[in-house]
Structures are given as C-alpha cells and as structure tokens.
Amino acid sequence: MKNKTTINLFRNHAFTCAALGVCAMQQAGAEYHVSVSGNDANAGSVASPFKTISKAADLAQPGEVITVHEGVYRERINPPRGGTSDEKRIVYQAAPGEQVVIKGSERITDWKQVDETTWTVTLPNSFFGGYNPYGDLVRGDWYEARRPYHTGAVYLNGHWLKEAARKDQVVKAASGDASGDARPELMNLKQLAGGGKNSETLPASKYQTASEKIPSMDLPDGQNCVGRVKDGVALTYDIDFGEEARNMTLFAASPIEGGLVEIRKDNADGELLGTFDVYFTAGWTSFQPFQANLSLPLSGKQTIALVFKERPAPAWVDANEAKWFAEVGAETTTIWAQFKDVDPNKELVEINVRQSVFYPGNPGMNYLTVRGFTLEQAATPWAPPTAEQIGLLGTHWSKGWLIENNTVRYSTCAGVTLGKGRDSYDSKGDYHSTIRVSTENGWNRETVGSHVVRNNHIHDCGQAGICGSLGCSFSTIVGNEIHDIKKHHEYFGCEAAGIKLHGFVDGLIKDNHIYRCEHWGGLWLDWMAQGVRVTGNLMHDNSQDMMFEVNHGPFLVDHNLLLSRTGVTKVSSSGAYAHNLWFGNIQLWPTEQRQTPFMESHSTEIVNAEALINQSDDRYYNNIFVGAKGTSALDEHGFSLTGTGNVFLAGAVPSKHEQNAVAAKEFDPQIELTKEPDGWWLKMKVDPAWDSVRRNLVTTDLLGVAAVTGAPYEQGDGKPYLLDTDYFGNKWPENHPSPGVIPLTGVEEIRVKVWPKSKE
C-alpha cells in the first residue's frame, strides 16, 4: 500500500511590523466618519457623518483616520496631504465588517431602444467634466493594438462589455447608413516602393476591385496615397525587383482595424507567396514583404498582387459577446450598447467617467493607508515606465503607503500603480533619460517607495494588476490574489502582466496567487531588479509565469509553484532559483545586447548606467523541473550555470554543468491543481529515489556574489539568506531540504492545500 500524506492548511495573513516595515501602532488622533446618508455640512462624527470621502480627506491631518461606512460612493479621492511617518499616517478605511464600494463610474438610466438588442444614450459632454474617456484613446510608449481602444467602458451588472471597433458591429445598419457597410475600410495605403538600386514609388498597374481614392490621413509632402482599401481589394504591380527584392516596401496605416495582406503571384487568384499583418497605428508604418516568409524569391521582373483581407477573429473572440460603441461630437457623446434579453433601465448599467478612483494629483503624499474598500471601474490610461503611471489606485511618486485588504477591479489599464511621477521627460520612450530625470526628482529610499501591498484581490484589469516604475523600490507585495489580467488580449505591447515592475530595488514579492494573466504573464521584473526576492508564490494558467528582463541582479526566486506551460523567460544576470516546482520551459533571448544600469547594494546610487548582462551567472538549487527542457535550455546557447540537487522529470533534461542531479525522464509526477470549496489543492506523485542526494540549505555564503554587480545575495536590510523553511514557512526537517517546495521524504504522493496558505 502506497504511503500518502495529506497536509491541511488554513489562511493566516498576519504579518509582523518588522517583516513588512509598517508599524501597527497609530498615534491617536481625530476620526472622521463618512456615510451615504451623511452631509458634508455635518461635523464628520459617527453621529453626524460627512457624505463624501473627499470632504474628510480635505480635513484629515497626519495621525488621523477616515472611516467610511457601508454604501456606494462615486467620486475620485485626491488626497491633499499625507502622513509624516509610519506612526503618524492618514488612514482611509472601510468600517469593519461593512461593504464600501468606491467607483469611477456613473449609473445611466435613460437608455432608448434601437433594435431588439441595442440601446443608445446621448449625454452632454459637460457630463464628463474636463475628461471624456470615450474620446480618449489608449496609447503610449510600448503600446500596440490591432485596432483602436478607448479608456471608456460600459458595465452591465458590474461586468464590462467589450468595445466594438465599428458602429455596425453594435447597430444594425439603417437604410443609407454608411456605418452598415459590410466591407469596412481596412487601411490607408501609400504607393508601393519597388526594388532595385533605383527604387521608386510605383503606381498600381491594375485594380482588381475598385478602391476609393479618398485619403483620410494627412500625408507628408510629395507622397501619394492610393486611398482607403477595403476588404477584397487587390492591387496589381509590375515590378523589376533586380537583385534587391528586400527593398520592396508597403506603406500602410490603419485607422480602424487593420487587416491581412496576401502577396500573390501574377494576379489576385495567383499562387499565394506570403502574408503579413497590418495593425492599427497612429501613423504610417512600413511593412517589408520579404519578412512575410515568401515561398518564392522575388527577383527580376515580376507581377504581383496585394490582396487585402479583413483579419479573421481570433479564437478567443466570442462573436455573440455584447459590445458597445461611442461617438464624441462637439457638444454631445452618444453611446450604443448591446443588452441582450435585458432592459438596461431596469438593470445596473454604468459608464466610466473618472480616470482614477484613489490617486493623488500631486506627488509626495506619503504614509497613507488604504484599507478594506472595493475600488472599481476607472478609465485609466496606459501606464508605461516612461510616463506618470495613473492607476485605479495609485501612489504617484510617494513613500510608505499601506494598501491592504482591498478589492481592485475593472481598470481599463492598471489596477494598482506604485510608479513614476509626472516630469519633463514623460512619454519620450527613452528609459535611460527617464532614470536620469527621476533620480533628479528623488529616486532614493528617503523619498519614494517602501510601500506595502498586501492581501488585496486584484482582477479584470486591461494592462496590469500592479505596475510600477522606480517608485516601487524597497516595496513589499504579499498575500495578494491577482487574476484575469489582459485576459481577452484587447491590448498589445509591453507593460502587460499580473505584476510589472521597473527599478524594483530591494523588493519582496511573497505568497501571492497569480493566474489567468495573458500576453507577458504573471510577473515581469524589467530593468534593475537588484536585491529582490520572489518567494512562495502560486502561479498557474498564465501565458508564462515569470519574466526577468535585462537585470544585473542579484535576485532570488525560491519556493514558487510555477505551473503554467511556460515557466520563466530569463534574459538577465545572476538569478538564483531555489526550491521551485517548475512545470514549464526556460526561455532565453540569447543575443541580448541592451546596456542597463546597476546600483550600489541596497541603494539607487548608479554605479554603471550601461552594463551588459551576463547570462552565464545563474544558480539553480534543489528545484524540480517537469517536462520541457529543464536547464539544458541554457546549454543550447552556450551559457554556463551553477546547479546542484535539482530533479528532472517527464522529459526534462539537466544542463551539462549540473552536479548531483536526479534525472528521471520517464517519471511522470502527474501534477494536478484543482480548485475546491476551501481553496486550491496540489496533488503530485513522488519517487523516494529523489532523496538519495544530500541537499544543502541555500544560504548567502552558498550563493556567492553577482558577476556584474559584485553584490552578495542578501535580504533588503543586508541580513544574510538562510532558506531553512518550506513553501508554508515550516522548518525543513533536521535541516535536510527536499527538492521543490515542501518535504517529500518517505512519501509517494502528496496532496496539499496551496492557496490560501499558512503554516500547519
């Protein structure tokens, strides 16, 4: 009979003041009360409460508390001041045991029916104040989209509808209504530039189907435009490519949805040579057909046809999903929305009107506590690392916030931001200059960062659950549940992940549950992750679990459950990976040549602003790799590593540099992660043979120093590492660690509750 062990765990999110750097003691001061039945002319007492949180915020001083009572509040809180220390914070809190919801939306109740599923409402632009999210495109550095999206949204009973690209996707065409054109314009097309040494702009020799020669974009002087190209249009060209076919370039821009371009030989019905995509862009973009995997070389005299096709809907798009569309005029904004089988005037229908929910307009609002709220439905902008990062809830270049026990959801872009403030170099796309300007504006431990984000539930955000640039340094992110981030792929480009941080110096990411995060996945540490520890996290069903990009380390990744199909994309120096259960691949960018900064240990003082990474300086101790390539992925690119005590299962292969590895290619641990009424449970088969290798505790001395920075692997406060506890914080028996996240000695199967988590 097989020996089995079952460990039952319960959630306990009590963390000490010392561990999190936030003092539990608050000096007694005034307490203001807020109620939906109150009045801002009241005294703000429990018997005579204010009506708005903003009124209490105007009055609250360091050491004072704002307690908000049950109800829905529709306002943006812009704290006019912060606290002065951990002991003299300004606390914003929901009354214990009461449900307090703060929304960036307003309810709309005067919808008019258009057809059996579509309703419309027209609002004066003054309804939105100085900011109309239905005329505000999502845009910014490293943002890409296949079609336009706005920061506005429409919600039915709390959940958002999807924005349509065109009015005819929401409203059935009325007679003579151009919006019902079944063949929408795909893109604007400038003339094709031909190949050869004397490349010239060429006219199309024949239109297979007529296109409207109506330019809809301003063009540079001397450049011609074919016009708006529709689905099914084919343009035929007679070209002498000579020997330089790769000079042939198509210039296109898409004002709506973009499309596919087929390259065919001779005519529109000829042999398909290749295809390429044209996405939505803000201006003209060149596309070179040689990049389209052509099946035939284009050289000499050729006749080709470019055939324009509407892009098929991705597999994840539900054609029956309810949508909305808006038009902003000089005086009014009209919204059309599909409400299938419901009357929106009898349901809860809301629209975004505010850019954020809790966000200071000025930086330096330090030592604030935000506790126990549900914050939702904000028209947040794209939050790249080079711009002011406005979140639904954000710190705006401040220090020492405590954000705990909140629900943050339905942010167009970012949920919680710990990021950069507004400065003279905003949105220039040059992160080296951003770092320089931010350093001048106080990027240091004394001025910004040191936030604690704990025990929050963050979900349904279009870009990131938590993001930060530089202002996130020295922070702790612990005990949060983050999921359904960028789940429906609306936005493309970088900066999209469950957690996305730049300049995360001496940070801790611990005991979080991150799942169903798409595009770049669960956690992405980008530039200057130095002195960071990522420990005890449960990650699954992400496009990938972790990504480390152009960091010089040292950073430590330990005791994580990495259960997505792609485990880690690693393009950094000096990562130490210990005691992880690693289900997916290690992916690498082997030729990365970007030069990025590194700092003095436990500091933002830059030592070298332009250092190359060293991908041969990683450490792997006591991990379990299941399937995929294991550490042999590094061998394929000639990288070295230090590795010992690792276990390789179900086809995973150790690097040639590994020592004391257990390689059991045929053993399938049959890992199962299931959601049950009391939480998430992990089941896994174990082979006692894994225990044949004597494994050491991982310590600062064992890990050594990082090759590029020369810094030791140690905690953010300078204390040494001693990894003598498992995933749950229990001591390894007799200091004899098992591979992976929990003790495996003497068992052949485990079944453990991995979220919510705590010690036995």
CATH of the domain at 584: 2.160.20.10
Q: Is 646 among the domain residues? A: yes
pLDDT score for 147: 78
Q: 83 Cβ partners below 8 Å, 6+ apart?
A: 62, 63, 89, 90, 366, 367, 368, 400
C-alpha span between 480 and 451 (Å, rounded): 14
Its sign, for the CA torsion 606, 608, 609, 613, is negative
Say yes or no to pLDDT of 724 above 70: yes
Average pLDDT of the chain, as a whole number:
86
Whether 214 and 262 map to the same domain: the answer is yes
More confident residue, 143 or 223: 143
pLDDT score for 246: 45
Whether 543 and 658 map to the same domain: the answer is yes
Its sign, for the CA torsion 464, 466, 472, 473, is negative
- Give, in degrees to the nearest 5, the angle at Cα 656 between 654 and 662: 35
CB 356 within 8 Å of CB 391: yes
C-alpha span between 200 and 196 (Å, rounded): 9
Domain boundary among 292, 324, 352: 352
Domain boundary among 245, 278, 309: 309
pLDDT score for 228: 58
pLDDT digits 0-9 by tens, 383-399: 999 999 999 999 999 99
pLDDT score for 221: 37
More confident residue, 242 or 79: 79
3 state SS of 54: helix
pLDDT score for 631: 95
CATH of the domain at 250: 2.60.120.260
Q: Is 454 among the domain residues? A: no
pLDDT digits 0-9 by tens, 76-105: 999 999 999 999 999 999 999 999 999 999
Q: Is 707 among the domain residues? A: yes
Q: Residue 396 is encoded by which pair of tokens?
A: 């705006």
Whether 584 and 714 map to the same domain: the answer is yes
Q: Is 119 among the domain residues? A: yes
Q: Indicate the pTM of the whole model.
A: 0.88
pLDDT score for 195: 46
Q: 176 Cβ partners below 8 Å, 6+ apart?
A: none
Whether 294 and 328 map to the same domain: the answer is no
Q: Is 129 among the domain residues? A: yes
Residue 150: how many CB atoms within 10 A of its CB? 20
Whether 166 and 277 map to the same domain: the answer is no
pLDDT score for 489: 61
Q: Which of 443, 494, 512, 499 is nearest to 467 (CA)?
A: 499
More confident residue, 688 or 55: 55
Say yes or no to pLDDT of 412 above 50: yes
Whether 131 and 151 map to the same domain: the answer is yes
Whether 645 and 571 map to the same domain: the answer is yes
Q: 22 Cβ partners below 8 Å, 6+ apart?
A: 86, 400, 402, 452
Q: Is 583 among the domain residues? A: yes
pLDDT digits 0-9 by tens, 99-139: 999 999 999 999 999 999 999 999 999 999 989 999 999 98
pLDDT score for 143: 86
Q: Is 154 among the domain residues? A: yes
Whether 147 and 269 map to the same domain: the answer is no
CATH of the domain at 324: 2.60.40.1180
pLDDT digits 0-9 by tens, 567-615: 789 999 999 999 999 998 898 999 999 999 999 999 999 999 999 999 9
Structural domain span for residue 684: 528-760
Say yes or no to pLDDT of 175 above 90: no
pLDDT score for 529: 97
pLDDT score for 220: 39
Q: Is 540 among the domain residues? A: yes
Whether 155 and 295 map to the same domain: the answer is no
- Could you tell me which residues are beta bridge partners of residue 369? 91, 402
Domain boundary among 309, 338, 370: 309
Whether 269 and 126 map to the same domain: the answer is no
Its sign, for the CA torsion 92, 94, 95, 97, is negative
Its sign, for the CA torsion 48, 54, 60, 62, is positive
Binned at pLDDT 50, 70 and 90, residue 406 comes out as very high
Whether 223 and 332 map to the same domain: the answer is no
- The number of distinct structural domains making up the chain is 3
Whether 193 and 111 map to the same domain: the answer is no
pLDDT digits 0-9 by tens, 360-379: 999 999 999 999 999 999 99
